[in-house]
Homo-oligomer: A and B are copies of this chain.
Amino acid sequence: MAFGFIERQTKNFINIDPLQTGGRLSEDAKKALLEWGDGYSVCDFCTGRLEEIKKPPIYDFVNDALPEFLGCDVARITNGAREAKFAVMHALSKRDGWIVIDSNAHYTSYVAAERAGLNVAEVPNTGHPEFRVEPGKYADVIEETRRKGEVTLAVLTYPDGNYGNLPDAENIAKICHDYDVPLLLNCAYAVGRMPVKMKEIGADFIVGSGHKSMASAGPIGVLGFREEYAEQLLKKSGKYRAKEIEFLGCTARGVTIMTLIASFPHVVERIKQWNEEVKKARWFARRMGELGIEQLGDRPHNHDLMFFESERLYKISKRVKKGRYFLYRELKKRKIHGIKPGLTKHFKLSTYMLSKDELEIVIDAFDEILRRHSS
């Protein structure tokens, strides 16, 4: 049989995939994996619901630490950011209602809306080269959409997963509220990487991802919201009075919550270094720019997730033997992973938690690849 234990090929690579840089486990999380690996291990002392478990301290984590961390009133653990978004959309929305989302949204915002039976209206971005989502456009799209039906929710991706842009969320929250539309912030690339507080921004819901940005095994997500939505979101089963319908009783009922808790002190600390991470990202973008590989999106950039454009790499791909796979292969040879096979003209990457030495290796690799293939 081909199954059983399988090695991870990229284990010793420098991994610049934005999906991977924020989800690397802390040392405590690695220990937690083995301690809590068994199936339902966290349920030994369950008294009815995941968030009520006191040993291990899931109760304290969900009821105290997490709301403070997210800057919200109430928090829940979910099976991921997408599952959190779906829970909100499903609980709040009438079928055939409308949802307004930014056009930089992760595909799961769209798919969650489809699953919840909602129509989607998109707020356009400014296009090449910045792809910014501007607050005023939220007003335009909400105005327009209201003519077609009820707008039950707006979603803002903060930052988005393509360009790493951080829009003016505060202003967007104000605009949504002017129209009595609650705002959900998809912070899958923010919560756990950078300081972000839901109520300081003025939003109504906040969603984060443990495996993407909180140094946790996955899948696991966090959801925060205002007290006023608790009744709708935490509605209990008619028959099983302890069980919350929208979360099917319990969500991340296993080792994932224990790695999230294990990494939490590490995550709280690393957020304090966010300014350094931004500086490092800008330095990296500048160095790439010197090679003619241009960073698109917000400039100067405010996040470790960056999108690059390179006409030179694209031109090379047109004439080399491996075609558009040449870049992937050249990087692989140098034990650098994370740019999708086949991409040369446009690609994204992340510098998060990578050392300058590691990033120098990445920059040198691009430099070398360009030189080697310059005709």
Contact = CB atoms under 8 A, between A and B. Distances in A.
Nearest to A7: B35
Contacts of A79: 79-80, 83, 219, 251
Interface in A1-55: 1-11, 15, 17, 19-20, 22-25, 28-41, 43-45, 55
B1 A264 contact: yes
B248 A217 contact: no
A9 B42 CA distance: 10
Assembly stoichiometry (copies): 2
A114 B237 contact: yes
A212 B39 contact: yes
A100 to B, nearest CB: 15
Interface string A226-256: 0000000000011110010110110111111
B19 A40 contact: yes
Given A9-B55, A23-B40, A60 B2 contact: yes
A37 B40 CA distance: 17
A176 interface: no
Nearest to A1: B265
B43 A253 contact: no
B253 A219 contact: yes
Interface string A65-107: 1000000000000011011001000100001000000000001
Given A33-B34, A107-B237, A264 B39 contact: no
A355 interface: no
Given A55-B9, A237-B107, A262-B5, A20 B33 contact: no
A77 to B, nearest CB: 11
Interface centre among A15, A215, A238, A253, by most chain B C-beta atoms within 10 angstroms, is: A253
Interface residues of A, number: 89
A35 B211 contact: no
A43 B209 CA distance: 15
A216 interface: yes
Contacts of A343: none
A282 interface: no
A252 B32 CA distance: 19
Given A2-B60, A9-B44, A39 B237 contact: no
Contact of A264 (B3, B56, B245, B264): B3
A36 B256 CA distance: 12
In the A-B complex, list the 7 residue pairs whose CB atoms are closest, starting with the nearest. A23-B39, A218-B254, A39-B211, A5-B28, A79-B79, A3-B264, A19-B40
Given A6-B258, A79-B83, 8 more contacts: A3-B261, A3-B265, A4-B261, A4-B262, A8-B41, A20-B43, A37-B217, A39-B211
Interface of A: 1-11, 15, 17, 19-20, 22-25, 28-41, 43-45, 55-57, 60-61, 65, 79-80, 82-83, 86, 90, 95, 107-108, 110-112, 114-115, 210-212, 215-220, 237-240, 243, 245-246, 248-249, 251-256, 258-259, 261-262, 264-266, 268, 337
24 contacts: A1-B265, A2-B60, A3-B261, A4-B261, A4-B266, A7-B35, A8-B35, A11-B35, A23-B38, A24-B38, A25-B39, A33-B34, A33-B217, A40-B211, A40-B212, A79-B79, A79-B219, A80-B253, A90-B115, A107-B239, A108-B248, A108-B249, A110-B239, A219-B252
